[in-house]
Amino acid sequence: MTAQPRPARFLAAGDTALVIEFGDQVDRAVNDRVIALSGAIAAARIPGVVELVPTFRSLMVHYDPLRVSHDELEAAVVPLLGAAGSVRHRERFFTLPVSYGGEHGPDLAEVAERTGQAPADVIRLHTAEVYHVYALGFLPGYPYMGDGPEALSLPRRATPRLRVPMGSVSIAFRQVGIYPLESPAGWHLLGRTPVRLFDPRRENAVLFAPGDKVRFEPISAETYDRLAEDAAAGRLDLRPSGEAA
């Protein structure tokens, strides 16, 4: 018997935000409901809605209390809960080049040892998946992605690094993250991409959005250097494929 989805729960987040919660764990079906409702609210153009922030399991709706009250906003959102599934999400696919190992992926050998794999097998397993962008957060454009292969599932590092280079591709448990800026971090670093996930020079400064799909493609360190130069000069323009019209 198929379990029924949990009813949505409405919560106040201060006097300018409404949270609609769909579950209490990381789950693709839950996240699909979050993204669908975000699309439905955006399409409805409810007066007073300022910003929509999808997370793993909930949607935060920021609103202007001078234009719409909490109760009015909740009443406008309730009918959209059932209609959200009919809103067509624009599913975008990205292929991200990554230089694995060496100075770009200092934890590759340790991940291989701890998971009983050869380094080449870690790369093969990591690049075989199509990852789902659950949410953005932590840093501008930082994607929380899943679900990685169970064979590579490891807890976070016992000792975080104080400085992780921009573009570092990391794993923890079955999640994957990419650092848009240099940052402290405690996940395992497998490689680095030359693509800038956050670039204010672009029309859309943030590359990914919740619901996007991402696959990694291994490249050599020499190719990384060339593409990194292009990215620094604003010449590396990564576009999605398979985008619905």
Mean pLDDT computed over 85-114: 89
Say how far apart CA 128 and CA 123 lie, in whole Å.
Answer: 8
- Chain segment 177-198, per-residue pLDDT in tens: 999 999 999 999 999 999 999 9
pLDDT of residue 166 exceeding 60, the answer is yes
Contact 76, 61 (CB under 8 A): no
Q: What is the mean pLDDT of the chain?
A: 93
Residue 228 within a domain:
yes
**pLDDT-above-90 percentage for the chain:** 89
Total of domains in the chain: 2
pLDDT of residue 230 exceeding 90, the answer is yes
What is the pLDDT, as a whole number, of residue 183? Answer: 96
Q: What is the pTM of this model?
A: 0.90
Residues 15 and 82 in one domain: yes
Contact 129, 215 (CB under 8 A): yes
What is the pLDDT, as a whole number, of residue 228? Answer: 97
Contact 202, 140 (CB under 8 A): no
Residues 97 and 81 in one domain: no
Please give the C-alpha separations between residue 5 and each of 22, 71, 135, 232, in angstroms, as whole numbers: 8, 24, 20, 45
For residue 114, the domain's CATH number is 2.40.100.10
Residues 98 and 210 in one domain: yes
Say how far apart CA 119 and CA 111 lie, in whole Å.
Answer: 8
| Domain boundary residue, one of 86, 118, 148 | 86
**pLDDT-above-70 percentage for the chain:** 94
Mean pLDDT computed over 14-40: 93
DSSP-assigned letters across all residues of 113-148 = HHHT--HHHHHHHHHH--EEEEEE-SSTT-EEEE--
Say how far apart CA 14 and CA 145 lie, in whole Å.
Answer: 28
Residues 144 and 78 in one domain: no
Provide the phi-psi class of 112: left if phi over 0, else alpha when psi is between -120 and 50, else beta: alpha
What is the pLDDT, as a whole number, of residue 49? Answer: 98
| Domain boundary residue, one of 86, 119, 149 | 86
What is the pLDDT, as a whole number, of residue 85? Answer: 56
Residue 1 within a domain:
no
For residue 41, the domain's CATH number is 3.30.1360.40
What is the pLDDT, as a whole number, of residue 3? Answer: 58
Say how far apart CA 105 and CA 100 lie, in whole Å.
Answer: 5
pLDDT of residue 244 exceeding 70, the answer is no
What is the pLDDT, as a whole number, of residue 87? Answer: 52
Range of the domain at 81: 9-86
Question: Which of 202, 191, 205 has the alpha carbon at shortest distance from 235?
Answer: 202
